[in-house]
Amino acid sequence: MSEAELVLRSTRVITPEGIRAASIAVTGETIAAVLPYDAPVPAGARLEDVGDHVVLPGLVDTHVHVNDPGRTEWEGFWTATRAAAAGGITTLVDMPLNSIPPTTTVENLRTKRAVAADKAHIDVGFWGGALPDNVKDLRPLHEAGVFGFKAFLSPSGVDEFPHLDQEQLARSLAEIAAFDGLLIVHAEDPHHLAAAPQQGGPKYSHFLASRPRDAEDTAIAALLAQAKRLNARVHVLHLSSGDALPLIAEARAEGVQVTVETCPHYLTLTAEEVPDGASEFKCCPPIREAANQDLLWQALADGTIDCVVTDHSPSTADLKTDDFATAWGGIAGLQLSLPAMWTKARERGHGLEDVVRWMSTHTARQVGLDGRKGAIAAGHDADFAVLAPDETFTVDPAALQHRNRVTAYAGKTLYGVVKFTWLRGQRVVADGAFTEPKGQLLTRS
């Protein structure tokens, strides 16, 4: 401990053993030790005492669309990572689509990394993409360090990232299983979507009917069957249908290697509250009814759903028209994900330890970063969010850091104000003020 350069002290630190008063000794970029609260400060170390604010491990968001390069008018690494840092997120993993080029070859990955290198305010990793014609590129991308591969089972919304049919899914999944990679899947069945009523217009009820739960349920069932047959690792993205939960639990009991995420908007917003024409609430799959939301919360509590991520997917404001059929489908949530989740979690009797498990510990584990991220423990990166959990604020879009300040949370009063964010031992956000970018580009171990 004599070499510690920083001691971060609080009466409430979330550790793997629970919340306790502690002093966190930091050497360089790494946590050296978690000490008793009143442990002597080593000579030469700087003490940062945050009083009763809660110190939690920096969040790890494994589902973010940065859109850079190619659609930088929608978002970019500079703005997305600032928004993340402001919300206590210290690591994100960028999705392979909505940027041009998509991250579907090693060359395209190099392009993405070159763009991100000097703009990242937090640590950034990358997913690869699985397309109908790029099976040959999957192993090279894996060897180049992507954390896994994303596929769509229905149209993605952008022409440069086509979806997989069941035969193409089987080919890609077999290749990925051969090197023990991970396939993460947008699971909606295109046939069920095509058969659903497509009325368009401003009524949210019409949009909800156009993306029925059985489209998710059918696609998830097919994915689980493929994963079982091929002994492959799969991850279900942005689960919104509570009806799929028994399928997932049964598959797990049979030994299928499947993990599941959901998103803050499915857990905090309901179909009943979406005004007609308010396409800032549009995402695919959609925000569903309150009774369905109850099932998602129950599945989080019992472990059927592993983690919570933002699926941050912004666009320019002009694409958020009042016609739900044609408006861009995506919710920008990086900066607000922690307070939104904490606000609803506390209402339902959950603690901050639960939120940390869903949004940091389990997400770090999903991408193999659990030896570095997701916990306040010796040997981990010194990534912290300092939260005032009982303070509230009202969401003002003008105060948000993502590029196009459209939000489904506008005007909502939320609990939990992020006071400081630390990245690998350096404070990168303090009361809304930012340092220059200090993020690193991460690769799969």
Q: Is 238 annotated as a binding residue?
A: yes
Task: Return d(Cα 362, Cα 380) in angstroms, integer.
Answer: 15
Distance separating alpha carbons of residues 369 and 252, to the nearest angstrom: 23
> β-strand 89-94 against 30-36: which pairing, if any?
unpaired
Q: Does the annotation place 186 within a ligand binding site?
A: yes
The torsion angles phi and psi of 434, rounded to 5 degrees, stand at -115, 150
**3-class secondary structure for 312-373?**
ECCCCHHHCCCCCCCCCCCECCCCCHHHHHHHHHHHCCCCHHHHHHHHHHHHHHHCCCCCCC
Q: Kindly report the three-state secondary structure assignment for every residue of 262-330.
A: ECHHHHHCCHHHCCCCCHHHCCCCCCCCHHHHHHHHHHHHHCCCCEECCCECCCCHHHCCCCCCCCCCC
Distance CA 196, CA 208 (A): 10
The helix/strand/coil state of 141 is helix
Report the C-alpha gap between 52 and 12 in whole angstroms. 6
Phi and psi at 269, nearest 5°, equal: -115, 150
CB 238 within 8 A of CB 266: yes
Q: Does the annotation list 311 as a binding residue? A: yes
Strands, sheet with 59-64, edge to edge from the N-terminal-most edge strand = 59-64, 89-94, 123-126
Beta 384-394 vs 54-57: how paired, if at all? antiparallel
User: Phi and psi for 173 in degrees, rounded to 5?
Assistant: -65, -35
CA pair distance 65, 324, nearest whole angstrom: 21
Q: Do the beta carbons of residue 27 and residue 4 sit within 8 Å?
A: yes
| Burial tier of 38 (Cβ tally within 10 Å: 0-12, 13-18, 19+) | exposed
Residue 150 annotated as part of some ligand binding site: yes
CA gap 10, 227 in Å, rounded:
45
Residues at the annotated binding site for Zn(2+)?
Answer: 63, 65, 150, 186, 238, 311
Residues at the annotated binding site?
Answer: 63, 65, 150, 186, 238, 311
